[in-house]
Structure 1
Amino acid sequence: MRHSEYAGGCAGICVDLTLFPLDTIKTRLQSQEGFYRAGGFRGIYAGVPSAALGSFPSAAAFFVTYDCAKSLLGSGGVLKEPSVAPVSHMLAASLGEMVACLIRVPTEVVKQRTQTSPSSSTYHMLKVALRQEGVRGLYRGFGSTVLREIPFSLVQFPLWECLKTQWSQRRGHTLHSWQAAVCGAFAGAVAALVTTPLDVAKTRIMLAKAGSSTASGNIPLVLCDVWKSRGLTGLFAGSIPRMTFISMGGFIFLGAYEKARRTLLS
């Protein structure tokens, strides 16, 4: 499965570094203090070292787990039937996200705190997090991240696989990498919109002050607070940059993954 590791890792770096400014804008829109108080358009690349550090290993971990799980689930039993293939894709993607989050969450915590404090460095925010809460603090928001990523994957990957299958059957041949990328872009945009409220909750939990009620990670409570203070607009704060980021990211990520995987297998 080394082709999955390298293909997924390279695709992850391409996405995270190319589209990082959109991620910063999204994070600041979702922060409790609001876009301009969180930095506005200043220091748009704040936190990029953390993203770069975690990008390759987390993306590689996801695709290795996803491909292994999809292969095992589809190799025997009821899940090998084409009619239930989406179920195996959902289960494989969910497992992949859980494994990837073990790497992604600490880098996400440091990245988002740096994004909303552009005058501070990534190293400074890492030291502050470790001093205040220890290693456990770097995993604050792990549950909310997993609960965001699993529904996201349940929508994105079965939809991506379905779109590829339908388009391939109509064309009568295996899709080119760019065609798989188009399917990925559409699937990503749909999944991004649906899961934005969960992303808002995850951002609030990661950015909250240590010891606060929000920092406890109670997702329904956080969503309720957002609803009371900012209504539906607050629950879908950052949805446009998030959809743009993930749609473009889906094009780059899944297209680069398909291209790299085919190159490494040939």
Structure 2
Amino acid sequence: MQTANYLVYQGENAYKSAGGTAGLSVDVILFPIDTIKTRLQSTEGFRRSGAFRRIYSGIGSVAVGSVPGAALFFGTYEFTKNVSKRYVDGRCLPLVHMAAASSGELMACLARVPTEIVKQRSQATLSPSWDVFRKVIKTEGLTGFYRGYWSTVVREIPFSLLQFPLWEYLKNTWSSRIKKPLEPWQSAICGAVAGSISSYLTTPIDVAKTRIMLADKNDSVSRGNVIYAIRSVYHQGGIKGLYAGAIPRTIWIAIGGAIFLGVYDFVLQQLRDKKTTKQA
């Protein structure tokens, strides 16, 4: 069996390993920028949420949830993409990438949302991750860890619908021009461009998601209605409020896209080479 077919049907662990490694690398390296973004978007504002103090508050939850979230995304993304490509022609590839990205996000959010809840509350309150975890269990139960699930999905799917088709398009265009597969650093540049554009355009949804996750249990925003949250933010701060944290978010995801997608392609390439060597 050829390596490509082997990866589709037997080697999903390769995609999961590559995705998990890439996800953990990005989340740990860029955590301070994510903290600044969260504090800028919080209802209390940047200074009252901690400003630059305890910039790594909440990193424990990231260490726990980053790998499974990224692994679930890329395992689902690559499997859906590779299987779907068998049944469509080249003109429909952007739709294939959109469907694969959406499927990946639905799965990834199962692992990502609980850790995102703990991480963002820890970032905004300066509380240790374990204390936040226990408070959620005590006051909201297990369902509290999935408050904001659909708002996260609503944020992630439009983001991925923009980012991944754009990433694939940039890679394919660049590869066709140089007439050879891209190196991981070239894939990283494509990831940075795709990530920065996608992140800026979806910032208002990210602000709404942050407000939903940080809201007090009795606050109407905590119900998870994204449209209501966006209206609430707009009423309080106008367009400026909807784009709170846009600059650190764009920088964070541009750098993150470069590292995430560059590391992903590098690790995947190494795993493919290893499989090919074993089969030779």
Match for 1:212: what amino acid? D
SS at match of 1:22: helix
One-letter amino acid of the counterpart of residue 109, structure 1? I
Provide the residue aligned with 2:97 in structure 1.
89
| Superposition pairs of residues 1-266 of structure 1, within 5 angstroms | 1-76=12-87, 80-118=88-126, 120-266=127-273
Q: What amino acid is the match of 2:46?
A: F
CA distance in 2, matches of 1:145, 1:165: 29
Q: How many angstroms does 1:71 deviate by?
A: 1.2
2:249 is matched by which residue type in structure 1?
Answer: R
- Structure 1 residue aligned with 2:276: none
Counterparts of 2:82 and 2:30, CA distance in 1: 31
User: Whole-Å Cα distance in 1 between the matches of residues 128 and 232 of structure 2?
Assistant: 30
Inter-partner Cα distance in structure 2 for 1:156 and 1:241 = 18
One-letter identity of the residue aligned with 2:124: T
Deviation at 1:166, TM superposition (A): 0.5
Q: Which residue identity lines up with residue 173 of structure 1 in the other structure? A: K
Q: Distance in 2 between matches of 1:117 and 1:186?
A: 33
4+ long deviations beyond 3 Å: none
Structural RMSD (CA): 0.6
Q: Secondary structure at the match of 1:43?
A: coil
* Identity among equivalent pairs (%): 51
Distance 2:13 2:219 in 1: 43
Letter in 1 for 2:91: S
**1:211: how far off?**
2.1
Report how far residue 228 of structure 1 moved: 1.2
- Offset, 1:221: 1.2
> In the aligned structure 2, how far is the partner of 1:61 from the partner of 1:157?
16
Structure 2: which amino acid aligns with 1:201? A
Question: What is the TM-score with the length of structure 2 in the denominator?
Answer: 0.93
CA distance in 1, matches of 2:201, 2:194: 11
Mark the runs of 5 or more structure 1 residues left unpaired by the alignment: none
Q: Which moved more, 1:221-230 or 1:183-192?
A: 221-230
Partner Cα separation in structure 2 for residue 21 and residue 105 of structure 1: 19
Give the C-alpha shift of residue 219 in structure 1: 1.1
Distance 2:45 2:238 in 1: 14
Q: 5+ residue gaps in structure 2?
A: 1-11, 274-280
What is the total number of aligned residue pairs between the two structures?
262
Other structure's SS at 1:116 match:
helix
Quick one: distance in 1 between partners of 2:220 and 2:254?
A: 33
Using structure 1 for the length normalisation, give the TM-score: 0.98
Please report how far the alpha carbon of residue 151 of structure 1 lies from its aligned counterpart in structure 2 after TM superposition: 0.1
Deviation at 1:75, TM superposition (A): 1.3
SS in structure 2 of the partner of residue 25 of structure 1: helix
